[in-house]
Amino acid sequence: MTNAILKRLPITWIKEIIDLTIERIVVVDREGIILFINSTYCEFLDVKQEFAIGKPVQQVIENTRMHIVATTGKEELEGLQPINGSVMIANRYPLIIDNELVGALGTVKYPGPDNLRQSKNKIQDLIDELNFYKTKAQKELQSKYNFADLTGSSPIFLAAKKLAEKVSGSNSSVLLTGESGTGKELFAHAIHHSSMRSEHPFVALNCASIPQDLFESELFGYEDGAFTGAKKGGKKGQLHLANDGTIFLDEIGDMPLSMQSKLLRTLQENEINPVGGQSTIPINLRVIAATNQDLMKMVDEGKFRKDLFYRLNVINIEIPPLRERKEDIAPISIKILEKLERNFYRSGTLLSSEVIERFKHHSWPGNVRELENVLERAINVLDGRTIELSHLPLYLRDPETVASRGGSSVTNPPKDAELLQVSPLKKTIAKVEKQEIKNALIFTNGNKIEAAKLLGLGKTNLYDKCKKYEIK
Ligand SMILES: Nc1ncnc2c1ncn2[C@@H]1O[C@H](COP(=O)(O)OP(=O)(O)OP(=O)(O)O)[C@@H](O)[C@H]1O
């Protein structure tokens, strides 16, 4: 349309024509500020034209993407846009004047019969997709293991398992203690699975892996606009997600003191206060906590709240380390191999008797997790069917050499003592420490939290040491 033709139409006519069109029209500039919106659209939105013009489009129109089209310059046709409870068909066009993107024009209309059919299909697809993710999310919130998955028949393991089975029916808090990798999380799953809450969520939270400043919002959730960067509509906290079910608080010793107070209040009052919210939400939870730290000592040192400790420690189940139940090593190894075979598409893998014997003599500081890593490494390097000593990592393959590297007999010094290189102890310790950290990181594929567990170190301590030894 040329300017000459347009000039024949008085501006008041043009305005009326735009208003008479059945479509709702909005024009924004490149910043997404509304330059024009017709009265049909304003009536539909129930806003005054004078109010809307000059405002960022997101403040006026629900679920709009006009500001995006005004920046990308890419048209979006036949999009579904829920506004005021109706699903509308939206078309968004970039406005290009003299080869320059200057803004965007948008129209929305009620779906016609064809559109209606198309939108119905689109909505059905979206509902199917939503249901798929809902089921997936629900599965994530279910316990994955039961008591049958807890392998081991040593008396001390059976005693722990029996106690766990016995208390699963109650609502009391449980504190699982034991070294890293002993199976505390497995126990937590099994307890939930056998409880009356098994149909409800099981939410596992590792307190060591949450950055301090995100702790509160992760645990208690937040409301819309609670802080800059908060998700629109707010976010449910993990405690809320676990409602009617079980919350498993792993590495509870790493929970900041301020959060310990807030958690205690929640457990006493059975309600949560999301960040930035005035309201309280009633919740019904069972708590299972786990730690490999000495919480009582932490209480004495003022690092853990005494009242929370007693609140969590209603039932204490101590999971014994692997070295104290050597008879369990072979059956657990077999169970782990079955799992690994499924992942590696193998079958019939065997363990040589030398390997089992060597396993029985190892102290397993990383417990079952370390055993899993050793077996996974072995399966990776295995050529035949039987895992032999040669498939084990050096520290297990040749423990004497490794041990002998650690020191020599002072009472019986070797004749060629002058040939021995003796370094300052500090330097040697640093060297060993660096190597062990590197080994742990190899074992855990670079996962520092897992590596810290294997090494029996706190997460922050490991990060500091990695920095010191320049380990990436
Ligand atoms: N009795 C067992 N039978 C079979 N597998 C086990 C057993 N105990 C532990 N595992 C396996 O060992 C691994 C470590 O277990 P889990 O994560 O439960 O240990 P954890 O004590 O919670 O460790 P951390 O304190 O480091 O969090 C898991 O992969 C688990 O499946």
Q: Which CATH number fits domain 147-320: 3.40.50.2300, 3.30.465.10, 3.40.50.300, 3.40.50.2000?
A: 3.40.50.300
Contact between 238 and 272 (Cβ < 8 Å): no
Q: pLDDT value at position 265? A: 93
The residue to which tokens 């990776």 are assigned? 380
Between the CA of residue 208 and those of 293, 461, 465, what are the distances in Å?
12, 12, 17
Q: pLDDT value at position 407? A: 37
Q: pLDDT value at position 9? A: 76
CATH homologous superfamily for 424-472? Homeodomain-like (1.10.10.60)
> What is the assigned CATH class of domain 325-406?
mainly alpha
What ipTM was reported for this prediction?
A: 0.97
Residues of the chain by 3-state class (helix, strand, coil), percent to 5: 50, 15, 35
Q: pLDDT value at position 412? A: 35
Residue spans of the chain under pLDDT 70: 1-6, 22, 112-116, 118-119, 225-226, 228-233, 399-424
Cβ of 368 below 6 Å from ligand 1: yes
- Determine if the pTM surpasses 0.80: no
How do the domains of the chain map onto residue ranges? 3-109, 147-320, 325-406, 424-472
Tell the residue nearest (CA) to atom 16 of ligand 1.
Answer: 183
Cβ of 254 below 6 Å from ligand 1: no
CA of 182 from ligand 1 middle (Å) equals 5
Q: pLDDT value at position 420? A: 41
Q: pLDDT value at position 427? A: 74
Q: pLDDT value at position 283? A: 94
Beta bridge partners of 62: none
Between the CA of residue 120 and those of 76, 89, 110, 116, 211, what are the distances in Å?
19, 12, 13, 6, 43
Task: Please state, as a whole number, how many other Cβ atoms lie within 10 Å of the Cβ of residue 277.
Answer: 16
Strands 100-109 and 174-177: unpaired
Q: pLDDT value at position 424? A: 64
The residue to which tokens 């965007």 are assigned? 104
CA of 150 from ligand 1 middle (Å) equals 9
Tell which CATH architecture fits domain 3-109: 2-Layer Sandwich (3.30)
Asked whether the domain spanning 147-320 has the same topology as the one spanning 3-109, the reply is no
Q: pLDDT value at position 402? A: 52
Q: Is 11 exposed, middle or buried (0-12, 13-18, 19+ CB in 10 A)?
A: exposed
pLDDT digits (tens, 9 = 90+) for 371-382: 999 999 999 888
Cβ of 370 below 6 Å from ligand 1: no
Instruction: Kindly report the backbone phi and psi dihedral angles of residue 315, in degrees, each rounded to the nearest multiple of 5, phi listed first.
Output: -125, 120
Cβ of 182 below 6 Å from ligand 1: yes
Cβ of 369 below 6 Å from ligand 1: yes
Q: pLDDT value at position 441? A: 85
Q: pLDDT value at position 291? A: 96
Q: pLDDT value at position 375? A: 95
Task: Give the distance from CA 143 to its chain's centroid.
Answer: 15
